[in-house]
Amino acid sequence: MLTTVVGSYPVVMGKPESFMEKIKSTLGSYDPYQHALDAAVTDQVNAGVDLISDGQVREDMLQIFASHIPGMSVDDNKPVIEGKINPAPYSIGASDIKSALNTAKKINPDFGKNLDLFHGKDFNEGFKGIKGIITGPTTLALSSLIEGFYSKDKREEIVVDLAWALKKEAGFLQEAGAATIQIDEPYLSTGIADLKTARKAVDIITQNLSIPVTMHVCGELVNIWDELLRFKVDILDGEFAGQPKNLQILEDTNLKGKKLGLGCVNNKTDEIESREQVAEVIKKGIENLGKENIIADPDCGMRLRSQEAAYLKLKVMVETVKWLS
């Protein structure tokens, strides 16, 4: 069974230390987030995670896209839609994906080597790679203030325009070496999202991608699970440790050829689970769905945890997966 992360990781900022870094700092070209990115990748690789992320350390999941997509901006930390939404002419995340892959390869040369191992019918053990993450169009649209161009009752138009913008970014991330594109759509479980429009938008993004697509949705999924199964994605990812009601899904579902991202450690507390606690969730998944259909990960992003807790949670997750196989 492979292991992965949902995405965000504690941001550990550094200061310019080497001679080159100090010169760059003087010239204004020192990247203060590079240290956080390297730290996030190093922890994930050292914990033994197979499919890592770049840690999403630069900004939160909304701001990172709102600050780059034409037609959007960020005001007082909130995303704003102020004009016609268009694809950005450059990639927002490709250089971080490449940098993260390089850092991972220095620790374990297997990273990014056999992408085809992830494309088969089953997740092949031994695969090591990175995921490209985009915030879903529905989530971006519903969390933004609308201040121009679009009328407030035309959210569908915004969602679709955002989908075209994000499709371009998904292509860039695939080109940069991502093994899967993950679309984060936490708003789908809130009851305020139009699931039909959300599905149409995800279809736009995923069409023509050659790598598998993951969709991560947080929260309680019991009532929308059948709807989620209709999305054209390869992996559905949800929270199963901190949302015990979701465990019911494991007993009842037929994945219809999809795989399941099984959140098995709680991202909302620094308390480290025991192996037995993690195993309880994973075993439920294995018994009902078969281990070839499961990829284990934390419930959600770990940005708000301490670095130590984030690392230890990944470690106990990886150890438990090994223990059970």
Closest distance to Zn ion from the beta carbon of 143 (Å):
13
Stretch that binds Zn ion, among 153-161, 206-214, 216-224, 258-266 (CB under 5 A): 216-224
Stretch that binds Zn ion, among 52-60, 84-92, 160-168, 292-300 (CB under 5 A): 292-300
Stretch that binds Zn ion, among 91-99, 146-154, 213-221, 268-276 (CB under 5 A): 213-221
Closest distance to Zn ion from the beta carbon of 239 (Å):
7
Stretch that binds Zn ion, among 126-134, 191-199, 218-226, 272-280 (CB under 5 A): 218-226
Query: What number of chain residues touch Zn ion (CB under 5 A)?
Result: 2
Nearer to Zn ion, 103 or 267 (CB): 267
Cα-Cα-Cα-Cα torsion 247, 253, 256, 258, nearest 10 degrees, comes to: 0
Nearer to Zn ion, 23 or 192 (CB): 192
Which amino acid makes up residue 231? F
Closest Cα to residue 61, out of 316, 318, 304, 309? Answer: 304
- Distance between terminal CA atoms of the chain? 7
Nearer to Zn ion, 133 or 218 (CB): 218
Closest distance to Zn ion from the beta carbon of 265 (Å):
13
Nearer to Zn ion, 52 or 85 (CB): 52
Nearer to Zn ion, 207 or 223 (CB): 223
Nearer to Zn ion, 45 or 218 (CB): 218
Q: How far, in Å, CA of 156 to CA of 177, rounded?
A: 31
């940005």: which residue's tokens? 303
Q: How far, in Å, CA of 88 to CA of 183, rounded?
A: 18
Residues pairing with 259 in the sheet: 235
Stretch that binds Zn ion, among 153-161, 169-177, 252-260, 297-305 (CB under 5 A): 297-305
Among 62, 134, 201, 218, binds Zn ion (CB under 5 A): 218
Cβ neighbors of 260 (< 8 A, separation 6 or more) are: 235, 236, 237, 238, 250, 285, 289, 293, 294, 295
Strand ranges in the chain using DSSP code E only, listed in sequence order: 2-3, 51-52, 72-75, 78-81, 129-135, 145-146, 180-184, 213-216, 235-239, 259-265, 294-298
Q: Which two tokens stand for residue 158?
A: 């915004």
Among 198, 300, 312, 317, binds Zn ion (CB under 5 A): 300
Closest distance to Zn ion from the beta carbon of 186 (Å):
5
Closest distance to Zn ion from the beta carbon of 87 (Å):
25
Closest distance to Zn ion from the beta carbon of 238 (Å):
8
Q: With H, G, I as helix, E, B as strand and everything else as coil, classify residue 188.
A: helix
Closest distance to Zn ion from the beta carbon of 195 (Å):
17
Closest distance to Zn ion from the beta carbon of 2 (Å):
19
CA distances from 82 to 25, 75, 85, 177, 211 (A): 34, 11, 9, 33, 33
Nearer to Zn ion, 177 or 263 (CB): 263
* Binding-site ranges for Zn ion (CB under 5 A): 218, 300
